[in-house]
Amino acid sequence: MTPADLATLTNQGIDASDISEFRFFTNQFETDTSGIDVVVSTDTEWLNGITNWQLAFNITTTEVVDRDPTLFDNDRVLLIQDGTPGTRWNFTANHNINQWRLLARINYYGDFYDNEAGGCFDDALLLDLEAAYTLDENMTFTVGARNVADEQGCSTSSCGTTPPSALGLPYSQFSPFGFNGAFYYARFTYNLD
């Protein structure tokens, strides 16, 4: 903050003696966003049970069409346009047979831009698995795993230009599927009447 900025704030009755920087929101850019969402679901009787199949698909594009280049540099524009995957989909099969429920899901995330790591990070395909057994109408035991293949995404040293030691992160902190890898769980559900 310049001495002139401090004088302006002081003249407005604001004690700015301990302010070194501040942030505020502004509408100094315009974007154009378009996309499509498709969800398809159907059931199939087979393998002595019923499988519910579901596909959820999304494509979204965002373009900065007007901006003040003194406030929004090219790096900020890339973050707004490509900071989240432009394409994402998942395909789920949920099979019910007697007291068992078996689920498999494939998740796809397109590539994305991380301004802090300074690079474009690759797309990723993840697999989730779950099995549940209903003991009676009130009790269900469930075990499962998210991201079974332990996908963590492209490392900051491979996809980014900022050295990972500068961030302290081996993977992008903006990863849409996280960077912790596989997650295993067990759950017991009891419904009170």
Question: 37 pLDDT band (50/70/90 cuts)?
Answer: very high
Average pLDDT on 145-167 reads 83
**What confidence tens digit (pLDDT) does each residue in 134-152 have?**
999 899 999 999 999 999 8
| Model pLDDT, residue 171 | 86
Q: Where are the alpha helices (DSSP H) in the chain?
A: 3-11, 74-82, 156-159, 164-167
Residue 81: pLDDT over 90 = yes
Residue 17 lies in a domain: no
Residue 47 lies in a domain: yes
Parent domain of 112 = 32-190
Residue 14 lies in a domain: no
Residue 105: pLDDT over 80 = yes
Q: Out of 57-61, 130-134, 160-164, which region has the weakest mean confidence (pLDDT)?
A: 160-164
Residue 10: pLDDT over 90 = no
Question: 164 pLDDT band (50/70/90 cuts)?
Answer: low
| Model pLDDT, residue 19 | 80
Q: Which helix (H) or strand (E) holds 44?
A: strand 29-46
Residues 159/128, Cβ–Cβ less than 8 Å: no
Residue 25 lies in a domain: no
Residue 162 lies in a domain: yes
Mean model confidence pLDDT for the chain: 91
Closest listed residue to residue 133, CA positions, set 145, 125, 143, 122: 143
Number of domains in the chain: 1
In the chain, the amino acid numbered 20 is S
Residue 58 lies in a domain: yes
Q: Write a three-state SS string for 146-159.
A: ECCCCCCCCEHHHH
Please give the Cα distance from 75 to 79 (Å, whole number).
6
Residue 145 lies in a domain: yes
Q: Is the pTM of this model over 0.75?
A: yes
Phi/psi for 117 (5° steps) reads: -85, -15
Rg (CA), the chain: 24
Residue 179 lies in a domain: yes
- CA distances for 84 relative to 23, 63, 78, 123, 172, angstroms: 23, 13, 10, 11, 12
- CA distances for 13 relative to 17, 18, 35, angstroms: 12, 14, 48
